[in-house]
Structure 1
Amino acid sequence: MTGSEKKRFSQLSHRSRAMIIVGAVVQFALQGAALRDLKRRPAAQVRGPKPLWLGVSFLNYVGPIAYFVVGRKSS
């Protein structure tokens, strides 16, 4: 296999597969928490428009973290 060929998931080492799965679980947990909070939080407690934060939350890792750090107003 040359360096330019893509490996299938099944061809990765157990450690690599585990890291990918853990990363996906973390991403989905962060996004789920951000979406849940965004749905329940009144618009007055969100910096900027809620639809913008909804879209941003779909950016891997960065979006949900940015929402929790920047998007929510402190109570």
Structure 2
Amino acid sequence: MRWNEMSNRQQATLLTLASVELALTATAVVDLACRHRDDVRGRKGLWWVGIFIQPVGPVAYLLWGRRRPCS
């Protein structure tokens, strides 16, 4: 379905979901970049790849990839 074929409600929903996905990905990227490798569960390199598997990657990292929350 093309953008101009969508209803206003569908367009708004898509933009909202895309914004949430972008915000979660950006948050995960910044967190992983600033976090010491000892504070990450597993290999940082694998989390870098995983973060970009949408939409579950950023959520998985933020929930399970960190050993302790940011202080």
TM-score, with structure 1 as normaliser: 0.87
Distance across 1 between alignment mates of 2:9 and 2:27: 27
Distance across 2 between alignment mates of 1:40 and 1:8: 39
Does 1:46 pair with 2:40? Answer: yes
Instruction: Please report how far the alpha carbon of residue 8 of structure 1 lies from its aligned counterpart in structure 2 after TM superposition.
Output: 1.2
Structure number with larger C-alpha Rg: 1
Distance across 1 between alignment mates of 2:26 and 2:17: 14
> After the TM superposition, which residues 1-75 of structure 1 pair with which residues of structure 2 at under 5 Å, given as runs?
7-74=1-68
Percent sequence identity is: 38
Which amino acid letter does the alignment assign opposite residue 53 of structure 2? L
Instruction: Please report how far the alpha carbon of residue 61 of structure 1 lies from its aligned counterpart in structure 2 after TM superposition.
Output: 2.2
Segments of 5+ residues of structure 2 without an aligned counterpart are none
Distance across 1 between alignment mates of 2:34 and 2:60: 17
TM-score, with structure 2 as normaliser: 0.91
Structure with the higher helix share, 1 or 2: 2
Task: Report the RMSD for the aligned CA atoms in angstroms.
Answer: 1.0
